Amino acid sequence: MKKIALLAIIAFTAVSTSALAQKSNKKGMKKVLFVVTSNDKLGNTGEKTGFWSEEFAAPYYELLDQGVEITIASPLGGQPPIDPKSADPASATEDTKRFDADKVLQEKLKNTLKLSTVNQKDYDAVFYPGGHGPLWDLVEDRSSIALIESFYTHNKPVAFVCHAPAVLKNVKVKGEYLVKGKKITGFTNDEEEAVGLTKVVPFLLEDALASNGGVFSKGPNWAPYAVEDGLLITGQNPASSKLVAGKLLKKLN
């Protein structure tokens, strides 16, 4: 009888220790907020847009595979639009193939949080994937503007890739544009011209950030290029997505 009781105590202790360890690991896990567009209209063209799947998938898996917990939010909440051109098999990468087959993530995307309900205190960093969609909603979204300012002023990394740096256009810290005097990159004028949308987008990202005082730099068209300036991390184009995620991981660790 005593032996049974002893075994029960040992088993209970092992379960309790395991539960505490899991709770401790969960508590120590880094948390990153992904913010995606809710806009599916490409200006007045009648064509569809949204977020670019590679710019979401590559950083998502880069962070997830390193044990980062990721929450997704969008201005309207619910299912965000994916730019149909990014779903073209010609644009496929290993990450986008994984994304397409990831039923857990697809379900998660159907239930993105409404951006106005999230708070920076619940996360260690924020990341914005690009695509043309953000140019029409997140750039002007007051919740997004306030959220980026809050992350930055609370000494937390803010990361953006491709068209996503455009959402910094109206973000100010202590009355000055956040990008003023900072090294930054994003989808270039040349790349926008190459895709034939310079007359469609509401503004050219490169020009807007430079006019706000950003120290804009760029690599060759379509080549991986990312820059870091303190808490601010930006990447030029879809091919730069993993570079941005890597720089963000280093900040988190």
- Encode pLDDT of 14-43 as tens digits: 444 344 334 434 557 999 999 999 999 999
Contacts for 229 with CB less than 8 Å, ≥ 6 apart: 182, 183, 184, 215
pLDDT of residue 3: 52
Q: What angle do CA 171, 175, 178 make, to 5 degrees?
A: 40
- Quick one: pLDDT at residue 130? 98
- Statement: residue 2 has pLDDT above 60: no
At 22 the pLDDT is 43
Q: Higher pLDDT residue, 193 or 9? A: 193
DSSP state of 207: H
More confident residue, 4 or 108: 108
The mean pLDDT value for 106-118 works out to 98
Q: Which H or E run includes 53? A: helix 53-64
3-class DSSP state of 197 = coil
d(CA 135, CA 45): 14
φ, ψ for residue 128 (rounded to 5)? Answer: -115, 115
Q: How far apart are the first and last CA of the chain?
A: 50
pLDDT tens sequence across 151-209: 999 999 999 999 999 999 999 999 999 999 999 999 999 999 999 999 999 999 999 99
